[in-house]
């Protein structure tokens, strides 16, 4: 391997805006190009909603779009096998269930030496056949990377895969503070008053993210602190029902849904305006958005689920609260709204805590895995 580049294929279902997708598009530019020849494969056509497509800088011959119509698309499977045999990759790195299933299967059959997969969340609703397939494919998988110990131990128990197959690699912060807009400009774009205190959450609008509890907490906060504004940023199937709940509470002027980062996929377009970052999830592993908020020196109030307490430490970088508890959520938001010095101190402590978690450090660790596994198989 010393005399030629290591040929690596990264594979994912599609590049819709999400945590796993964000990790991938931020990994690709920092890979050591002296050592690695990198390809990207996406399995399915992109949806019309927000996507990270514009961030991919690979040439057309290094970005393969297979356009699977389903898991049983025979033509796409044939094209995949032809592509893998032609390119003769040294390693594949897959993310999310579809790629973990399809690409690992094809990689095993075509004899790709190193196979690494990512498990990016806690999936309590996996079907039995999915669990069985993960268990089978794990036998030929060199390493399974999880974003949290919570996800690692859950998957070990759910799929009966040996613990030594796994490693936890906390997702890095991807934000570039130098690109951040000024809070005043963001407030102007959103139509907020200059003296508004902003509570921000960023995630997909799905049940497990707990937005309904945040809306209930917002009502309690506004009873005591009428200058607060809540921004619920993201997209998902619950958008209309959440908006309806806000309207029913007559809070539509104080709880806003500004879309996805003001129409862009860069978190720097919205995060600077926050005085407090909130994650009301009822089930999660370790949200990327919390790492990003901490790196932006934002104090965090979040549910004590998954690995969130590893980084959101009570009275140090923020507060953790029981999940599905609007009163506790509101109480701790109010503490920070009323004590600006405490909020600032916690924000600075959070930024210091996540400072070592850079995309460069994350990628070097992955590269070391690939090199070490290849050396054992030569």
Residue pLDDT, tens place only, 214-240 = 999 999 999 999 999 999 998 889 999
Whole-Å CA distances, 186 to 149, 272, 340, 350: 36, 8, 20, 23
pLDDT tens digits, residue range 27-47? 999 999 999 999 999 999 887
Is there a contact between 366 and 358 (Cβ–Cβ < 8 Å)? Answer: no
Residues of the chain with pLDDT under 50: 1, 262-264
Neighbours of 196 (CB within 10 A): 16
Is there a contact between 134 and 159 (Cβ–Cβ < 8 Å)? Answer: yes
What angle (nearest 5°) sits at the alpha carbon of residue 248, between those of residues 245 and 249? 90
Which domains can be identified in the chain, with CATH numbers?
6-171+358-377 (3.40.50.2000), 177-354 (3.40.50.2000)
Note the pLDDT of residue 177: 78
Neighbours of 217 (CB within 10 A): 27
Diameter of the chain by CA atoms? 67
Note the pLDDT of residue 260: 65
Closest CA to 293 of 233, 239, 236: 233
Note the pLDDT of residue 3: 67
Closest CA to 155 of 140, 141, 169, 135: 135
């Amino acid at each position: 391997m010393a005399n030629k580049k290591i040929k690596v294929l990264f594979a994912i279902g599609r590049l819709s805006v999400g945590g796993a997708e964000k990790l991938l598009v931020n990994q690709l530019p920092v890979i050591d190009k002296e050592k690695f020849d990198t390809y990207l494969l996406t399995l399915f056509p992109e949806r019309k909603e927000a996507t990270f497509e514009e961030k991919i800088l690979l040439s057309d011959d290094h970005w393969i779009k297979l356009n699977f119509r389903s898991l049983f698309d025979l033509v796409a499977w044939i094209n995949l096998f032809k592509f893998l045999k032609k390119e003769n990759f040294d390693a594949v790195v897959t993310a999310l269930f579809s790629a973990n299933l399809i690409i690992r299967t094809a990689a095993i059959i075509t004899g790709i030496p190193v196979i690494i997969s990512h498990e990016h969340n806690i999936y309590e609703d996996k079907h039995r056949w999915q669990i069985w397939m993960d268990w089978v494919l794990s036998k030929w998988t060199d390493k399974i990377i999880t974003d949290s110990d919570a996800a690692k131990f859950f998957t070990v128990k759910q799929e009966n895969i040996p613990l030594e197959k796994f490693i936890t690699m906390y997702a890095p912060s991807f934000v570039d503070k130098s690109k951040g807009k000024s809070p005043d400009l963001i407030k102007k774009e959103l139509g907020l008053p200059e003296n508004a205190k902003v509570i921000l959450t960023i995630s997909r609008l799905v049940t497990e993210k707990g937005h309904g509890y945040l809306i209930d907490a917002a009502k309690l906060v506004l009873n005591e602190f009428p200058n607060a504004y809540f921004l619920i940023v993201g997209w998902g199937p619950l958008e209309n029902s959440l908006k309806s709940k806000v309207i029913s509470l007559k809070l539509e002027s104080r709880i806003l849904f500004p879309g996805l980062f003001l129409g862009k996929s860069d978190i720097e377009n919205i995060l600077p305006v926050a005085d407090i970052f909130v994650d009301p999830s009822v089930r999660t592993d370790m949200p990327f958005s919390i790492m990003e908020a901490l790196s932006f020196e934002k104090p965090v109030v979040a549910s004590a689920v998954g690995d969130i307490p590893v980084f959101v430490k009570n009275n140090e970088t923020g507060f953790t609260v029981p999940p599905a508890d609007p009163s506790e959520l509101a109480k701790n938001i109010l503490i920070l709204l009323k004590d600006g010095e405490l909020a600032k101190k916690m924000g600075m402590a959070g930024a210091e805590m996540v400072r070592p978690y850079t995309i460069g450090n994350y990628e070097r660790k992955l590269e070391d895995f690939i090199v070490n596994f290849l050396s054992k198989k030569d």
